[in-house]
Amino acid sequence: MRRLLPVAVLVLGAALIVGATRGADDAAQGSGPSASPAAPPKPPCPAEKVCDMPPLACVDWIGRPVDLDALYGQTVMLIFVESWCPKCNEWVDKRAREVEDAAMRQPATILYLGVGMAKGDLQRYMAQMKLKGHAAGVVNKTFAATCGLRSTLWNIVVIDAKGRRAARGSFGNYQTRNNVPIGSTYANDMPKYCEGAKLIVEKPDTPNLQKADLAVRLGKYDTAAALLRKAGDAGAEALARLEERARQTLAAAKAYQASDPYLAWRLANALARGYKSSPVTAEARALAGKLAGDAAVRSGKQADTAVARVLEMSKKPGQAEAAVTMFAQVGMRFSDSRGGRVALRALGQSTDRDREPLYPTEQK
């Protein structure tokens, strides 16, 4: 009997947390006893899939926000930056240049994320180190944990053009693989990460093409299309490739309808919002509207909103312990959704696969 008592207390505590979270969520959504039933269980999302990434709405961007869903069809590199390490600052400009040059050739979109920094400090540091990412913003350590990272000191997450997490690990903390610096390894492996990705603007050698290239990399397709229409024959060719990418994104959304309706809704919704002038926009908007009422989509939206809310809360001084409690509640409440998995990863409850280092030779 004494052995069963602690177990009973734990079970009762878990039930109270789930009940309290569900009640708070129902109150926030304005629902009551007549609310729609919870989403049915579905197969877990593979660890490398983009649906396991946290919402980038939590990032405090320098300039216009970046939507990860709008970058479907591109290779995206999230590089986490900290400026306090003198040794890192000795080599970071060279290693970052290798990756940036490789990203321009393949192509890949680089997003620099300053950890625990003010936006002004990040801008000054990037200027000092001559970092040339396509966008930058600031996050806290909790956000890095949701990406599956155990350290934020120049770590990197790579999402390939098919929306899968292709790589994750240390960017340059003096570890080597076959005596090659990790920064160089990322640059050398870039073709593998970018398999299937295609350049939209092959030679951005005029101001309009350069601006269009940046707009495409940030998912601002309407802006890119307007600039490409002003760029003559080269712009017309790039516009045709941009239209093809829009069709591929819509095709991917359709393909995910049955297996992952929430991911399908996110892709269709991002396309409808980011590329309003495309011939496929009407179809994308109709698909997003059709999927919006799906129970899994409603649950996914609620989970992502909850994760974003906790990430925002964790930025405030003295709120770290409360954020851990909230992540536990979100993870238990939405355990069958992307947001729930993100919350559980933030608590360190990752799969064995998530615990494996990027390279077998890495020493932790």
What residue ranges do the domains of the chain occupy?
50-193, 207-291
pLDDT at 123: 94
pLDDT digits (tens, 9 = 90+) for 5-32: 333 333 333 333 334 343 334 333 333 3
Amino acid identity of 77? M
Residue-by-residue DSSP string for 228-245: HTTSHHHHHHHHHHHHHH
Mean pLDDT of the chain: 74
Give the Cβ contact number of residue 228 at 10 Å: 27
DSSP type of residue 49: B
**0.85 surpassed by pTM:** no
pLDDT at 65: 87
- Percent of the chain's residues with pLDDT above 70: 72
Lowest mean pLDDT among 40-44, 69-73, 244-248: 40-44
Structure tokens at 226: 């307007």
- When pLDDT is cut at 50, 70 and 90, the band that residue 116 belongs to is confident
Selected residue with higher pLDDT from 37 and 89: 89
Average pLDDT over residues 322-347: 70
pLDDT exceeds cutoff 90 at 72: no
**Domain 50-193 CATH (choose: 3.40.30.10, 3.90.700.10, 3.40.250.10, 3.40.50.620):** 3.40.30.10
pLDDT digits (tens, 9 = 90+) for 55-69: 677 788 998 888 888
Angle between helices 338-346 and 295-314 (to 10 degrees): 30
pLDDT at 121: 94
pLDDT at 326: 78
pLDDT digits (tens, 9 = 90+) for 231-278: 988 899 999 999 999 998 999 999 988 888 888 898 999 999 989 888
- When pLDDT is cut at 50, 70 and 90, the band that residue 350 belongs to is very low
pLDDT at 22: 39
Give the Cβ contact number of residue 206 at 10 Å: 16
pLDDT at 344: 66
pLDDT at 284: 94
